[in-house]
């Protein structure tokens, strides 16, 4: 009787999608970043029984009771901070791979831009502006990529915005720039947008609009 012996465990691999950003010593991800697992069962002496299943766990420890069978790509939740993804695979004769662990930094909190002055209108003409107007505001985010102050023609405009100022550092109740209102007389929408390193190409995570009447 000939018996084929497979004593080699499978090899799993973790793939991390976008958005992501490499920081010193750690990978920054968001709550939208997809994590996927795959595995292969290598041939040893021409023998491989094939991959049976993959298991994964997210947490500080890799104790057996914390694992669940992997089926589809997953994302990370919970509070911002370091998260460790543990995984292992088994083959069809139950050779078990040693647990692999990957630690990432989760940032699920979007930037917080806020226009302070000129203030937004509750309705009607709240303020008539003229000349060069200082714009005050705040932009808060631990992993800020940048912010952008813009204005566009019309009330509640959704397009046609022109840049007034931009920056890449946090601002706390301070000047964002100056707005030359003589360039755009009439109703104008002012907005402040920000993006962080964890949210990829999202330009405006939040808007802080103000509808203002300007004159030459």
49-86: per-residue pLDDT in tens?
999 999 999 998 888 788 999 999 999 999 999 999 99
Domains along the sequence of the chain with CATH: 11-106 (2.60.40), 112-215 (2.60.40.2470)
Query: Average pLDDT, stretch 97-108?
Result: 96
CA-to-CA dists, residue 72 to 16, 180, 199, angstroms: 13, 52, 22
Q: DSSP readout, 18-83?
A: SSEEEETTEEEE-TT--EEEEEE---BTTB---EEEEEEEESS---GGG-EE--S-B---SSSEEE
Answer yes or no: are the C-beta atoms of 91 and 10 closer than 8 Å. yes
CA atoms within 13 A on the CB side of 191: 20
CA 211 to chain centre: 29
Query: Average pLDDT, stretch 92-115?
Result: 93
Answer yes or no: are the C-beta atoms of 135 and 175 closer than 8 Å. yes
Q: How far is residue 64's CA from residue 89's CA, in Å, rounded to a whole number?
A: 13
Task: Check whether 196 has a pLDDT greater than 50.
Answer: yes
Query: Average pLDDT, stretch 156-179?
Result: 92
3-class DSSP state of 212: strand
Answer yes or no: are the C-beta atoms of 42 and 48 closer than 8 Å. yes
3-class DSSP state of 147: strand
CA 21 to chain centre: 9
Measured from the Cβ of residue 146, the count of other Cβ atoms closer than 10 Å reads 17
pTM for this one? 0.80
* pLDDT score for 156: 78
* pLDDT score for 207: 42
Measured from the Cβ of residue 123, the count of other Cβ atoms closer than 10 Å reads 6
């Amino acid at each position: 009787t000939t018996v084929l012996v497979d004593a080699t465990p499978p090899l799993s691999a973790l793939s991390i999608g976008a958005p992501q950003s490499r920081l010193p010593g750690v990978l920054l991800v968001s709550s939208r970043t997809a994590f996927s697992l795959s595995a292969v069962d290598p041939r040893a002496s021409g023998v491989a029984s094939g991959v049976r299943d993959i298991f994964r766990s997210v947490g500080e420890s890799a104790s057996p009771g914390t694992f669940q069978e992997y089926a589809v790509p997953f994302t990370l939740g919970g509070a911002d901070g370091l998260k460790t993804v543990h995984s292992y695979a088994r083959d069809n004769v139950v050779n078990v791979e040693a647990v692999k662990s990957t630690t990432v930094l989760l940032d699920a909190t979007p930037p917080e831009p806020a226009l302070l002055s000129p203030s937004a209108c509750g309705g009607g003409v709240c303020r008539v502006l003229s000349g060069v107007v200082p714009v005050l505001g705040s932009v808060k985010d631990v992993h800020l990529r940048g912010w952008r102050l813009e204005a566009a023609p019309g009330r509640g405009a959704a397009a046609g915005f022109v840049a007034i100022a931009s920056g890449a550092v946090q601002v706390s109740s301070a000047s964002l720039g100056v707005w030359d209102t003589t360039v755009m007389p009439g109703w104008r929408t002012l907005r402040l947008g920000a993006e962080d390193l964890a949210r990829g190409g999202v330009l405006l995570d939040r808007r802080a609009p103000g509808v203002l009447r300007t004159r030459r």
